[in-house]
């Protein structure tokens, strides 16, 4: 499996100065899958710092990866996997060259089948909140092989359980972390999600 657990914490906008404290709060509440989006300040440094500090305790992904050049930066920073908002064959192939696992953003059945043919490790249905929660159940039947589905976009503590009835995992962003919030709030939100 690509992810350790059912919840991926998306820390969009986090800076290296804040990363360790917020990730500590996540780990203390059982969230070990963390995404640092590439549109965050000095994102590659955050990945390096988190990997150096926590090692294998954190399954660390680089998100919002939309070019092959960004894939190379992910590999150099030490990310464990890559998440994308869209399906781009060049990005998927670059991940393969760098030995990075993939959670690729898809939305339509055409994109889902194309991603499967490329051998991606997981499908990120984005934005998930715009589809019925049982979307994977409706589309998985025709797939030639099983691929984990991850719901991202509009997931929070109020609807997370509904999505996890049908999805293998959920990515949670603003309901868990917003730039500038104190680590204590991230810890409380993580506790509420996992409680």
Residue 1 is assigned to a structural domain of this protein: no
Residue 189 is assigned to a structural domain of this protein: yes
Cα gap 180→177, rounded to integer Å:
9
Model pLDDT for residues 129-159, shown as the tens digit of each residue: 999 999 999 888 788 788 999 999 999 999 9
Instruction: List, by residue number, the catalytic residues.
Output: 35, 124
Q: Which domain holds residue 187?
A: 7-194
Question: Residue 146: its pLDDT value, please?
Answer: 87
Q: Model pTM?
A: 0.96
CB atoms within 10 A of CB 184: 11
Q: How many domains does the chain have?
A: 1
CATH number at residue 32: 3.20.20.70
Residue 2 is assigned to a structural domain of this protein: no
Instruction: Report, as ranges of residue numbers, the positions in the chain whose pLDDT lies below 70.
Output: none
Residue 109 is assigned to a structural domain of this protein: yes
């Amino acid at each position: 499996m690509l992810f350790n657990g059912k919840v991926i914490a998306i820390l969009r906008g986090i800076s290296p100065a804040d990363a360790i404290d917020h990730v500590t709060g996540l780990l203390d509440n059982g969230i070990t899958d963390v995404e640092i989006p590439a549109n965050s300040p000095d994102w590659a440094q955050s990945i390096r710092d988190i990997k150096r500090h926590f090692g294998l305790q954190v399954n660390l992904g680089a998100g919002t990866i939309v070019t092959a050049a960004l894939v190379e930066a992910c590999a150099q920073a030490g990310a464990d996997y890559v998440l994308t908002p869209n399906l781009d064959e060049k990005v998927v192939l670059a991940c393969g060259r760098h030995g990075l696992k993939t959670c690729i953003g898809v939305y339509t059945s055409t994109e889902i089948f194309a991603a499967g043919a490329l051998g991606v490790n997981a499908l990120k249905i984005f934005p998930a909140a715009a589809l019925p929660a049982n979307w994977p159940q409706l589309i998985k039947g025709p797939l030639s092989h099983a691929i984990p589905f991850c719901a991202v976009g509009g997931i929070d503590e109020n609807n997370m359980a509904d999505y996890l009835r049908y999805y293998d995992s959920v990515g949670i962003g603003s309901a868990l972390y917003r730039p500038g919030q104190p680590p204590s709030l991230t810890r409380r939100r993580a506790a509420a999600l996992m409680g």
